[in-house]
Amino acid sequence: MTSIYQALAEVEKNNQTAALCTVTQSKGSTPRHVGSKMLVYPDGKFVGSVGGGDLEHRVLDEAWIAMSDGEARYLHYNMSSPSRGDPGICGGQVEVFVEPILPAPTLIVVGAGHVGKALVHLAKWLGFYVVVSDDRAEFCSPEETPGADEYHPVPMEKLAESFNITKRAFIALTSRGSAIDALGLPSLLESPAAYIGVIGSKRRWLATVKELKKKGVDEKVIAKVHSPIGLELQAETPQEIALSIMAEILMIRDKGTGKPMKLEMRNESPSSA
């Protein structure tokens, strides 16, 4: 039988989502003692128990919400009177801490050229789960583009079929041309990805937009794309461009402003220092 700790190790190893529920307080007569744990998966399965019955069903519901919103929560229950909405009649009180276990954010690099390789290296260093995709199989391999967690040598328009793109995924298109982008973007724009950025000049992006509109892609959907990609750093080398791209991704992920910290300090009032 798999233990909670073995299951937790598998969740982290496989970059999965789960929620760990732990009884942190128990007063009077309650179903389980302090330290009892239950690991909940998105598909409804779970390992362990925090008490069974209605109590456990309520904790399961909160665990699924926690996996969705990423917020930990303390749950407090009286176990006295179901007629008042309590989840039991034991007579005690129980508190459960629900902690979402979220996978590392994913960076999907589409196009394994010079910038793509630099992005893989930097994103991995920053703690991202890194996926590389390129329709040229000879470029999409650990030997040619080392450091990624997964490799998907498929056309861009097939990527969403090959890899499950979630709302914790950030997509950077460092592809080799507008024609490829226009062909592959429609399926990616249907995904829940948190960010889609496309490398290239303003002129290249305008050409891509024109083709996307011809394919019937809605203008509001197209507007979700960040192109030209990255923050303005006057970047030139692949490494500098990768830094610009990751700076924008981190800014969006963490709701930063992208402004120099010096300017942010000037905007603070003396009382807030």
pLDDT value of residue 85? 42
Average pLDDT across the chain, whole number = 89
Taking the C-alpha atoms of residue 83 and residue 47, their distance in angstroms, rounded to an integer, is 30
CATH architecture under which domain 106-253 falls: 3-Layer(aba) Sandwich (3.40)
Assess whether pLDDT exceeds 50 at residue 240: yes
**Using one digit for the tens of pLDDT, what is the confidence trace for 195-226?**
999 999 999 999 999 999 999 999 999 999 99
* Residue percentage of the chain with pLDDT more than 70: 89
Pick left, alpha or beta for residue 87 (phi over 0 → left; psi -120 to 50 → alpha; otherwise beta).
alpha
**Using one digit for the tens of pLDDT, what is the confidence trace for 44-98?**
899 998 876 778 888 999 999 999 989 999 988 776 544 444 444 565 778 899 9
pLDDT value of residue 79? 60
Across the chain, where does the E strand assignment appear? 18-27, 37-40, 46-48, 73-78, 93-101, 106-110, 129-133, 150-152, 169-173, 195-198
Q: How many CB atoms lie within 10 A of CB 234?
A: 6
pLDDT value of residue 260? 87
pLDDT value of residue 92? 73
CB neighbour list of residue 87: distance below 8 Å, 6 or more residues apart:
53, 54, 55, 57, 58, 77, 79
CA distances from residue 248 to 118, 149, 191, 208, 227 in whole angstroms, order as listed: 15, 22, 20, 21, 11
The CATH 3.40.50.720 portion of the chain extends over 106-253
Query: What values do phi and psi take at 59, rounded to 5?
Result: -65, -40
Grouping H, G, I as helix, E, B as strand and the rest as coil, residue 37 is strand
**Using one digit for the tens of pLDDT, what is the confidence trace for 86-139?**
444 565 778 899 999 998 999 999 999 999 999 999 999 999 999 999 999 999
Q: What is the pTM of this model?
A: 0.80
pLDDT value of residue 87? 45
